Amino acid sequence: MTDERSAPAGAVLVVGGGISGLTAALEAAEVGKDVFLIEKNSYLGGRVAQLNQYFPKLCPPSCGLEINFQRIKSNRLVRVYTMTEVKSVTGGPGNYQVTLESKPRFINNNCTACGACADACPDERDNDFNFGMDKSKAVYKPHDMAFPMKYVLDKNACSAAGLQAIKDACKYDAVDLDMAAKEFTVDVSAIVWATGWNPYDPTKMTNLKYDSSNAIITNMMMERLAAPNGPTGGKILRPGDNKEPASFAFVQCAGSRDENHLEYCSYICCMASMKHINYIREQYPTAKITVFYIDLRTPGKYEKFREKLMADANITWVKGKVADIVAAADGSVTLIAENAVTGAKIKETVDLAILATGMEPAAKAQAAALGLSVDSNGFILADANGGMVSAGCAKKAADVVTCAQSATAAAMKAIQASRR
Amino acid sequence: MGKKYGAYICTGCGIGDALDIAALTKAAKENGMEAKIHEALCSAAGRELIENDIANDGVNTLVVCACSPRVMKDEFNFGDDKYVTRANLREGVAWCVEEVTEKHTAEKVKEFATEKGQDYVRMACVQAKKGDVPDPYKLETLNRKILVMGGGIAGMTAAMDAAKAGYAVTIIETQDKLGGKALGWRKQFPTAAPWTELEEPTVSAMVAAVQAEAAITLKTSTEVARIAGAPGAYKVTLKAAGTKSEWDAPKKVGVDEQDKISKGEMEDPNAGLQPYMKDDAAAEDFGAVVLATGWNPADVSEYAHLGYGKLKGVVTNAEFEKLAKTGKVPANVAFVQSPGGAEHDQDFPYCNSVTSMVALKQARYVREDNAEGKAYVLYQHMRTPGNMEMFYKGAQNNDGIFMTKAIVTQVEESGNGLAVHLKDTLLNEDVTLNVDMVVLAAGMVPTTSDKPTINLAYRQGPAFLDLELFDGYADSHFICFPYETRRTGVYACGGVRKAMNMEETIDDACGAALKAIQSIESADRGVAVHPRSGDGTYPEFFFQRCTQCKRCTEECPFGALDDDEKGTPKPNPTRCRRCGTCMGACPERIIGFKNYNIDQVGSMVKCIEVPDDDEDKLRIIVFACENDAYPALDMAAMRKLPQNALIRVVSVRCLGSVNMAWIKDALSAGMDGALLLGCKFGDDYQCHFVKGSELADKRMANIGETLGSLGLEPERCAVRQIAINEYNKVDEIINEFVEAIIALGPNPFKGF
């Protein structure tokens, strides 16, 4: 799979190893195409690897990832490069030269993931996989299901003594402190951009006071809190004081449907919050929950999922936008809003407020430098000549099903481009 | 092939510390193999050791006793012509050793772990002896042409995309021209920034492009009578639309029904039709099928308070579009999105988010056609996901379009027009609107909701299965794998799969065309499609011993098996997904794969050493699904969570493939219990082979009865459901089961 032999003509480059990139790469390879799959993180799986469950089935994303990883392992046409990004693109449809850069992992392929290095490592780092809600060792396995199953060293987080301890602990000569960044070029006929999304920065919504209290978290943090391999082992606790919350509030459209932030609807946040209510109900069957929303976008088969929650007497649904959040000394927060139907002013004090932050396309900042055409929101547009294709949330805000469909379509477009 | 064995034991990653390696080599020796020891088999030096044996001694069958078979796949892949089995000593034993306690001393822990390791070595040796490399099934002749059913936006897109990828396509369309529903649209939704303006329809341009494409054959006024055959070799009988044919796909007739029909106790539902297994010599050959038969407008007459069918001026959105296409629309129009009155706030059935957008589009028509036009959009939840939000915003900025959340309690006649009564509006008061016309947001009912549509001549019947799970849509059950249905080689897209707009339809159809191509190319290579993509094995049958019990044909989740003329199962290997459910179902044990079969797994079970007289050393066989339960066990071990040392785990393709003979093998060998760990079943099933864990549960319930009749407690056999991320629960599930077995005491047949 990570075979570095040069690919024959007509290969496809897939940028991004989340669910969209994985899908595009595998669908193309299973037709018989050679594929380079690059991912900037040290592991594949992207955002879905951080999710506890998918809506509406409430099944674990790692189940589908496991299938996809096994598909990659048994397909020699897919070459995977983690910690790798695109530096530049030249050429045109059917004949692109793409310069890639791999950052040093400082752990080579000898790694067996035995974990002796982490056991010996005295230093820690903020765990970005869990949005900084816990620490990992400075040498770490990105997460339980990480693929490739290899450790990574955060050299900057490590003392000299720590580096020595790590090196000494490894029996397999896998620690390579002199590893350097590596630049290389691939020739491909088409490029699928599956660069995904980032959660919208909650500090940008000054009225929601994200930084003022540990009781204000984002929806993605909620995923990690509920995940068995998360910072709390799956227990939903308030960050900071580990209090078991007795009451919750969801702030929908935190950034989305707002001209000052993201003018589009982020598609998934209504269902994501309802999924989070399911997480809460597993652990706190009668906790009081309030949801502030503009519209509940649970179309089609998602209506059943919503109906079930609407029957829960301890959930209050308020059509109205949250105007302000005020932190109190006891760790709680008070949300202030107006009910759009009754006109009533509402003040709701809760132990934990969850901001349903929207999706911002990850390639937004880099797009211009790479010559990608994007719309005003940073979503990548299809190139009329067909050599550059976008997939998943790099193209538009979407749920996982839609991403997988769009990635399959992208694989088709890439194959067509390589025939020209 | 002539087998030459090589066995290798890795002592790295703690294996050498946790286990007595000399004892492991003894276990290999029992099987006639001299195991070589290495401190890191996956390292360059370790692999060189193995490669040298391959090069110098002609070793072609390798027993690698190291880490879990899920990891280091590349490192231990020595080419397609080498058969490799793995003993999971690392995650399976060394990393999940039991805790040392006063009673369970370090010495005891190592003794128990070593016995487990020995069994895993024995099992890998036996697996190597009884298995072989795949020999892929190849069709005699493969057809690469794609059949696209439906000539609307979805079908035309799929056809064009397949053609551009180099494949010949035939589109069949029941109407006398291409274009489908889109032909009736006055305008279409925005497809580009700024996402606020309606666009001129592009359907005519698409029709022209399809007509000009040399690789596409068009057959209008045509429909499918039946589709027989399998991916790469479909035989399709076409007929004039709306006619009957003797080749129409027959309904499913089960074994019992067939019996009654033969006795004259039941009317044959397929009288006058050719049997499903009969070949139509005139049928056309295809390699794969794209189902793009679309949708029909939903019936909204059941909502009495809205007056459809009774009040003049109450129309559906589809009817309003027709009006708008052919003439001028009225000046004052209310668009009702949600029918529920005070009962509930759902949209009409089959709407998804499309009808919200349709209302916004049609509100524009009201404004375009009338200088003083007023359009009222009455919704409970405006559903304009993604960029369609900007379309919504654009409508909000239009002076004559009024939108409010509202409960529509009644529509009634009022003068020359209609009065619409509203409750709980955003105006904080109840309101009555006087309008010329009321437009109801009728949904999009898939063509598969009341007719088989796909018309397969399969033993399991002509339609997709389980459609009730998706309200009749031909949708996938899998979030990660939206094109997977229970019929390999047939891929649905567009309105037949979900109510979706044109932009979504185009993406969906493009993807479906790729899946169709993929199934053809996979058939050509003789390998499976998703989820065991690339698997070159296939089920082989020893038909001399078949009793024609039909269990395999009934239970195959993918309808891969038909009957031949004599009533013997007829495998269609290119329909098969290689789950092994047929192998699990067969009471005669005549079905198996080259590297996964009854004798092989049965022999693995029987090679486990069962102490005769040690009550502390009970033995429990665990069959674990390779995709979910087995990885969960691995992950628990990676977290160094202790696992019960009495269990012996066998990784299986799916619980559906577990043949009850293996359970009997285990118990008659003196093992004390059998546990099956598989995926969640029920409506939200997680089994990627659909019914595997559920079937296993039924089979185990039945075997429980058999055990009872032998004087063994039925509780010795059980099925437990577990998800891949529940590694924190897996030891608890196992311990609970083992404790129950300990309470029952040893298997009384031990030692016989």
CA distance A358 to A364: 15
Q: What is the mean pLDDT of residues B487-495?
A: 98
**What are A126-144's pLDDT values in tens digits?**
999 999 999 999 999 999 9
Pick among B381, B390, B524, B729 to test the A interface (most A CBs inside 10 A): B381
Assess whether B398 and B464 both reside in one domain: no
CA pair distance B310, B412, nearest whole angstrom? 10
Cβ-count burial B287-313 (b if 16+ within 10 Å, e if not): bbbbbbbbbbbbebeebeebbbeeeeb
- Other Cβ atoms less than 10 A from the Cβ of B408: the count is 26
Asked if residue B1 has pLDDT above 70, the reply is no
Q: Tell me which residue in B42, B627, B726 faces A67 most closely, judged by beta carbons.
A: B627
C-beta atoms of A264 and B386 within 8 A: yes
Calculate the average pLDDT of chain A: 95
Q: What is the pLDDT of residues B693-739, one digit of tens each?
A: 999 999 999 998 888 888 899 999 999 999 999 999 999 999 999 99
Distance from the B652 Cα atom to the nearest Cα atom in chain A, whole angstroms: 14
Q: Residue B343 pLDDT more than 90?
A: no
CB contact under 8 A, A401 and B482: yes
pLDDT above 50: residue B473: yes
- B-chain residues within 8 Å CB-CB of A274? none
Q: Is B426 on the interface with A (CB under 8 A)?
A: yes
Whether residue B469 lies within 8 A of chain A, CB to CB, comes out as no
Among residues of chain A, what percentage have pLDDT more than 70?
A: 98
How confident is the model over A251-255, as a mean pLDDT? Answer: 97
Q: What is the pLDDT of residue A332?
A: 98
- E-strand ranges in B124-206 read 146-149, 169-172
Residue B584 within a domain: no
Is A9 a residue whose pLDDT tops 90? no
State yes or no: cis peptide before B587, omega within 30 of 0.
no
Amino acid type, A413: K
In a domain, B746, yes or no: yes
In angstroms, what separates the C-alpha of A208 from chain B's closest C-alpha? Answer: 22
Q: How much of chain B exceeds pLDDT 90, in percent?
A: 93
Residues B20 and B64 occupy one common structural domain: yes
Chain B residue with minimum CA distance to A342 = B428
- Report the run of H or E that residue B744 belongs to, with start and end: helix B727-744
Using DSSP bridges, classify how beta strands B673-678 and B314-316 pair: parallel, antiparallel or unpaired.
Answer: unpaired
pLDDT-derived band at B565, boundaries 50, 70, 90: confident
Closest Cα to residue B231, out of B473, B569, B574? Answer: B574
Contact B386 A267 (CB under 8 A): yes
Residue range B607-626: mean pLDDT, rounded: 94
Q: CA of B587 to nearest chain A CA: how many angstroms apart?
A: 30
**Residues A287-322, buried b or exposed e (16+ Cβ, 10 A)?**
bbbbbbbbbbbbbbbbbebbeebeeeeebebbbbbb
Q: Are residues B432 and B373 in the same domain?
A: yes
B310 touches chain A (CB under 8 A): no
The pLDDT assigned to A345 comes to 95
| CATH number of the structural domain spanning residue B685 | 3.40.50
Contact A295 B381 (CB under 8 A): yes
CB–CB of B713/B746 below 8 Å? no
Contacts of B534 in chain A (CB under 8 A): 30, 71, 74-75
Give per-residue pLDDT as tens, A309-346.
999 999 999 999 999 999 999 999 999 999 998 899 99
Specify which residues B675 forms β-bridges with.
B622, B718
Q: Hey, are the CB atoms on A264 and B383 less than 8 Å from each other?
A: no
Which one-letter DSSP state was computed for residue A268? S
Question: Same domain, yes or no, for B509 and B545?
Answer: no
User: What does the pLDDT read at residue A3?
Assistant: 43
What pLDDT was estimated at residue A6? 56
B87 domain-assigned = yes
| Chain B residues with CB-CB distance to A360 below 8 A | none
- B 133-172 residues inside an 8 A Cβ radius of A: 161, 164-166
pLDDT beyond 50 at A5:
no
Residue position matching structure tokens 């919750």: A248
Per-residue pLDDT at A1: 41
CATH code, domain with B236? 3.50.50.60
Determine, for residues A59 and B479 on separate chains, whether the beta-carbon distance falls below 8 Å.
Answer: yes
Across the interface, of B161, B386, B726, the residue whose CB is closest to A396 is B386
By CA distance, what is A419's nearest residue in B? B165
* Predicted TM-score (pTM) above 0.95: yes
Is residue B532 situated within a structural domain?
A: no
Q: What's the pLDDT tens digit per position in B420-448?
A: 999 988 887 889 999 999 999 999 999 99
B428/A341 touch (CB, cutoff 8 Å), yes or no: yes
pLDDT for B248 equals: 98
To the nearest whole Å, the CA of A307 is away from the closest chain B CA by 9
B423 in Cβ contact with B442 (< 8 Å): no
**Nearest Cα residue in chain B from A143:** B635
Distance CA B646, CA B617 (A): 7
Residue B590 forms part of a structural domain? no
How far is B507 from B293, CA to CA, in rounded Å?
16
Residue B254 forms contact with A (CB below 8 Å): no
State whether B606 and B752 are in the same domain.
yes
Tell me: the pLDDT tens digits for B278-302? 999 999 999 999 999 999 999 999 9
pLDDT in tens, B256-273: 898 899 999 999 999 999
User: Can you give the pLDDT at residue B251?
Assistant: 95
- Residues of chain B with Cβ-Cβ distance to A404 below 8 Å are 479-482
- Across residues B79-107, what is the average pLDDT? 96
| For residues B362-377, average pLDDT | 97
**Do B495 and B569 share a domain, yes or no?**
no
Q: For residues B563 and B461, state if they share a domain.
A: no
Question: Are the Cβ atoms of B511 and A234 closer than 8 angstroms?
Answer: no
Which residues, at least 6 apart from A242, have a Cβ–Cβ distance to it below 8 Å?
Answer: A232
- Residues on chain B touching A300 (C-beta within 8 angstroms): 351-353, 498-499
Cβ contact, residue pair B514, A58, below 8 Å: no
Percent of chain B residues topping a pLDDT of 70: 100
User: Dihedral sign, CA of A257, A259, A260, A266?
Assistant: positive
pLDDT of B387 reads 95
Cβ within 8 Å, pair B428-A409: no
Structure confidence at residue A2 (pLDDT): 42
Across the range A344-363, mean pLDDT stands at 97
Query: What pLDDT, on the 0 to 100 scale, is given for residue A369?
Result: 86
> Helices (DSSP H) in A48-145: which residue ranges?
61-73, 116-120
Q: Are residues B231 and B281 in the same domain?
A: yes
Output the pLDDT for position B193.
87
Please tell me whether residues B347 and B437 are part of one structural domain: yes
Q: Which whole number is the average pLDDT over B480-504?
A: 96
- pLDDT reported for residue B572: 96
Residue B155 sits in the same domain as residue B284: yes
pLDDT for the residue numbered A386: 78
Query: So what's the pLDDT on residue B653?
Result: 98
Q: What is the pLDDT of residue A7?
A: 58
Contacting residues of A for B387, CB less than 8 Å apart? 264, 379, 396-397
Q: Is residue B690 part of a domain?
A: yes
| Mean pLDDT, rounded, for A145-162 | 96
Say if B427 is an interface residue toward chain A (CB within 8 Å).
Answer: no
| B268 neighbors B469 (Cβ within 8 angstroms) | no
Domains of chain A: 12-103+181-196+362-419 (3.50.50.60), 116-169 (no CATH), 199-359 (3.50.50.60)
Residue B666 lies in a domain: yes
Domain boundary among B109, B133, B157: B133
Kindly state whether residue B139 falls inside one of the protein's structural domains: no
| Cβ <8 Å between B161 and A416 | yes
Q: B124 and B25, same structural domain?
A: yes
Give the end of a domain, one of B108, B133, B158.
B133
Q: Which of residues 476-495 of B touch A (CB under 8 A)?
A: 478-483
pLDDT band at B752 (very low <50, low <70, confident <90, very high): low
* Contact of B717 with B741, CB cutoff 8 Å: no
Question: CB contact, 8 Å: B517 with chain A?
Answer: yes
Yes or no, beta carbons of B684 and A396 under 8 Å apart? no
Q: Rounded mean pLDDT of B93-115?
A: 96
Q: Which of B725, B730, B731, B732 to mutate to test the interface with A (most CBs of A within 10 A)?
A: B725
Number of domains in chain B: 5
User: Is the CB of B511 less than 8 angstroms away from the CB of A110?
Assistant: no
- Residues of B with Cβ-Cβ distance to A296 under 8 angstroms: 381
Chain B 545-604, residues with CB within 8 Å of chain A CB atoms: none
User: B641 lies in which domain range?
Assistant: 596-752
Mark whether B548 and B565 lie in a shared domain. Answer: yes
- Chain A interface includes B250 (CB < 8 A): no
**What is the Cα–Cα distance from B15 to B34, expressed in whole angstroms?**
19
Rg value, chain A, Cα:
23
- A82-130 pLDDT per residue, tens: 999 999 999 988 899 999 999 999 999 999 999 999 999 999 999 999 9
Average pLDDT across chain B, whole number: 96
